[in-house]
Amino acid sequence: MEAPHSEPQQASSDLDAVAEAHTSWLKSVLGLGALEAKLWVASSAQLLALMCGVIFLLLTTWLLIIASSAALAWSYGFSLVGILLTATLVTFLSSLVLLYLVKRTLKNMDFTRTLDAIIPTDED
């Protein structure tokens, strides 16, 4: 005959095993999320540093192009007000294009790979 306490001990050990398996799974899922976040932050910091250099060079180039165009237009007799208005309009339109590119880039920055690794969809 079995001891009367063996069945509750078996259920308790099964519950402990399930809890341990779920705890292990949760740790691995959180570890995956933390690893991807760490990689994302490191890559973002590097990208930010590189983009600061690129922005400085592009801004300097853009200002030189506008100044050269203004000087050329001035030498051909265009009015100063017309030159400044044209430069302002071109700069404003360029900022709208850059704003569109920023919004598109931010839209593409998501964590779908992590979500797909944790909870795969039926389509995969």
Could you tell me if residue 38 is inside a domain? yes
Query: What pLDDT, on the 0 to 100 scale, is given for residue 93?
Result: 92
Residue 124 lies in a domain: no
pLDDT value, residue 35: 85
Rounded Cα distance between 56 and 66, Å, is 15
The verdict on residue 2 lying in a domain is no
Is 51 domain-assigned? yes
Task: Write out the residue range of the structural domain in which residue 24 sits.
Answer: 7-118
What are the C-alpha distances in Å from 61 to residues 27, 54, 82, 95, 99? 50, 10, 22, 15, 19
- Does 123 reside within a domain? no
Domain for residue 28, yes or no?
Answer: yes
Per-position pLDDT tens, the chain of length 124: 455 556 667 777 888 888 888 888 888 888 888 888 888 888 899 999 999 999 899 889 988 998 999 999 999 999 999 999 999 998 899 899 989 999 998 887 776 666 677 777 766 5
The answer to the question of residue 1 being in a domain is: no
Among residues 60, 57, 92, 85, the alpha carbon closest in space to that of 70 is found at 85
Our count of domains for the chain comes to 1
Rounded to the nearest 5 degrees, what angle is found at the Cα of 120, between the Cα atoms of 39 and 37? 15
